[in-house]
Amino acid sequence: MRMTGRSVVILAGGGSRRMGTDKWLLPVGGTPALGRLVAALDGVADDIAIVLPWGADEGLRSRAQSAAAVARPRTPVRWLADAEPDAGPLAGIDAAFAAGVGERCLVAAADLPFARAELAEALFRLCLATGADAAVPERGGRPHPLFAVYGASSYERLRAYRAGGGRKVMDWVAALRVATMPEAETAAYDPQGAALFNMNTPDEYRRAQSLVDDSQFR
């Protein structure tokens, strides 16, 4: 595992069952959600690792690569796959750590069409300044562990938790030394309040489409 620098890990695994299709390929404002996310995070780290579902076929991989390429990223992009099938987000995080990531990595769900680089940068700074295992933002009265920075120190606990059959992200995070970004501070880096908005359902996708009609989200 590489132990210097920063990485971005984008989790594009899972079955998108509630959406009924691969949600991160859906266009938001004419650009696939994955492409919007890659564009937003381009330049905040040394590399971007995009984790696809375990066993993803060439068709899905090709569509994902095309979606990411829309962003024309300057940052090198690597393609990985979940560590095992149907094991939730932790399987993607595990695969990224095992493949080699920076000393600190921003883990982001792939269905965040309005992510902001400013928030990502602030989370990297918070994790470094506090020496915590993770830096997690609060918004809407709850933590958001799938747009958060994790240090290399969190990997051992991840492996141990998964070895014991654990699958829940928040249960793993609860075992870490977490630096929480309070809601007011998160809001300072996300004045529109949409950076942590994700699309799990058709209704949420329609909401994303309505938001992108507002010029501040384009």
pLDDT band at 56; cut points 50, 70, 90: confident
Average pLDDT, the chain: 92
Q: Which residues are annotated as a binding site for GTP?
A: 11-13, 23, 82, 111
pLDDT band of residue 2 (cuts 50, 70, 90) is: very low
pLDDT, position 200: 84
pLDDT at 39: 98
Binding site for Mg(2+), by residue number, is: 111
User: Is the entire prediction scored with pTM above 0.85?
Assistant: yes
Residue 138 is given by DSSP the state: E
Q: Summarize the annotated binding site as residue ranges.
A: 11-13, 23, 82, 111
Q: Exposed, middle or buried, 142 (CB in 10 Å: 0-12/13-18/19+)?
A: exposed
CB 33, CB 111: distance < 8 Å: yes
Which domains occur in the chain, in start order?
6-217 (3.90.550.10)
The mean pLDDT value for 68-80 works out to 96
Mean pLDDT of 35-42: 98
Give per-residue pLDDT as tens, 99-141.
999 999 999 999 999 999 999 999 999 999 999 999 999 999 9
Top pLDDT among 93 and 13 is at 93
- Name the band, by pLDDT with cuts 50, 70 and 90, for residue 13: confident
**Degrees, nearest 5: CA angle 49-50-56:** 135
Alpha-carbon distance 154 to 177, whole Å?
A: 9
Q: Which residue has the tokens 């994955």?
A: 34
